[in-house]
Amino acid sequence: MSHDEFDDALAAQLGLGLDDEPGPARRITPQQSAALIAGALDAWQGTPAANVSAPVRSAAPVRLAYLVAAISALIAVGSVAAMTIVLSRGPERSEEPVMVLPQESPRDEAIEEPVAPEPPPEPAIEAPPVVEEPEENERADAPARRRPAPRTPDDLLAEANALRSAGRWREAEATYARVPREHPDSFSAYVAQVAAGDVRLAHLRDPRGALRLYRRALAARPGGPLDAEAREGIARALRRLGDPRGERDTLRALISAHPTTPAATRARARLAELESSGE
């Protein structure tokens, strides 16, 4: 028996005959695999002695060749079967949980709910300013701060002189009058009275008021620096009032008290006029 005939007979005995269909060989069962190995071992051990006519020396290589062929066939069939199993199964799919998200229908996308208009912003309300109340000391000092600082007599006299130079006669006379009223014992009060008498007599046509102011100045400071001016003012006021006798007496007293002054020179000239006119 040749090698091919032995293989075919062994395959037929084990039920491993090849079919005419294309593709890999069919998978063998574990029983068929065990029978294949057992048959290969029997073939390697040889047949009974009655059937063997060839010498022992020549049978050993034949048995060895059969054994190798059987094992090769077994390995080939097993490999083909394993490959068939792997290819038939394909890659295993990992079973992982799949999260299915809900999809919005076109109808939901097309319909939009109306949006209410935003209310107009509320007008901002400004908080009233916080007014801090002054402390007791500040309250006590508040009236003093509101009152203007007291004017000195010299300040009032200087202001009245400026108004007189500007021709503002009534304002000047009112400012002169403040000096003796606010500072009666000051020297400026004496000067202001004589100056106020001149304004009343020369510009305000008030000889009676001027006469009163001149006499007050003489009484406040008899023989003072403005004594001659005050006496001359009294004489002129009496002349305006139509009292020639009083005027004449005042002029004579002026010449007697201040004989060398310009006021005495003017008094002498006025006395001469009065005597020549027979007044």
pLDDT digits (tens, 9 = 90+) for 218-246: 999 999 999 999 999 999 999 999 999 99
* Lookup: tokens for 213: 């102011």
Domain ranges of the chain: 3-47+56-88, 153-276
Task: Classify each residue of 171-183 as buried b or exposed e, where b means 16 or more C-beta atoms within 10 Å of its C-beta.
Answer: ebbebbbbbbeeb
Q: What is the pLDDT of residues 6-48, one digit of tens each?
A: 555 555 554 555 555 555 555 556 666 666 666 666 655 554 4
- Using a CB cutoff of 8 Å and minimum separation of 24, what contacts does 40-45 make? 40/10, 40/66, 40/67, 40/70, 40/71, 40/74, 41/67, 43/6, 43/10, 43/67, 43/70, 44/70
CB 233, CB 194: distance < 8 Å: yes
Of 142, 166, 227, 239, the closest CA to residue 193 belongs to: 227
Task: For 153-276, give the CATH class.
Answer: mainly alpha
Please determine, for residue 170, whether its predicted confidence score (pLDDT) is greater than 70. Answer: yes
CB 122, CB 138: distance < 8 Å: no
